[in-house]
Structure 1
Amino acid sequence: MTKFFKFVAIAEGISYLVLFFNMLVIKPNNLTLYKTLLFPVGMAHGVLFIGYVLLALLIRKEQKWSFKDFIIVQLASLLPFATFYVEKKYVKNA
């Protein structure tokens, strides 16, 4: 389960960055491509986000996270690049 969480954390971080890239770089230059990518990228990110949050709930006891650590792990899903940090610092024994 921990290996899967690590994979989802990295994939969620990448999907978040791709979503921002689509909004900030592609939208001003190519509105048609932006609209084409918005649904699949947004859906993938949404599914990965939900998976990240649920998997964090499931592996909380296995990882022996304190309440503070658990909140940090959950808040990391809202910040760009933060899931990469969580995957390196907080997830052990994968």
Structure 2
Amino acid sequence: MLTLLNLFRIIAFLEGVSYILLLFIATPIKYFGNDPQYVKLLGMPHGLLFIAYIILAIILGSKLKWKTKTLLFILAASIIPFGTFYIEKVYLKQAS
């Protein structure tokens, strides 16, 4: 069954992968190869996943009664490369 926690895990993983692809593959190709095609291709899905991550983190945080500091840390992890993977390992494993 797809619970809110499992949905958040999936979104967190996909957001992390899309961010890494955008940051370390698409952006260098854009600036060093003069080809913005990959940034355009990955930008919109990453943006939607980012928004879904933020919304689900807030909903899940209120449901699991996370402290404000924990919630802010989980939200901040979405803008750090590999941050969502750390959140999965440290915070979401404890929540199950």
TM > 0.5 between the two?
yes
For the residues of structure 2 that align with 1:22 and 1:89, how far apart are their CA atoms?
29
Output aligned runs, 1:7-86, within 5 Å: 7-20=10-23, 21-24=25-28, 26-27=29-30, 28=32, 30-32=33-35, 35-86=36-87
Gaps of 5+ in 1: none
Gaps of 5+ in 2: none
**TM-score, normalising length from structure 2?**
0.85
**TM-score, normalising length from structure 1?**
0.87
For the residues of structure 2 that align with 1:37 and 1:62, how far apart are their CA atoms?
37
How many corresponding residue pairs?
89
Larger relative contact order (CA 8 Å, sep ≥ 6): 1
Query: Runs ≥4 in structure 1, deviation > 2 angstroms?
Result: 61-64
CA RMSD of aligned residues (A): 1.2
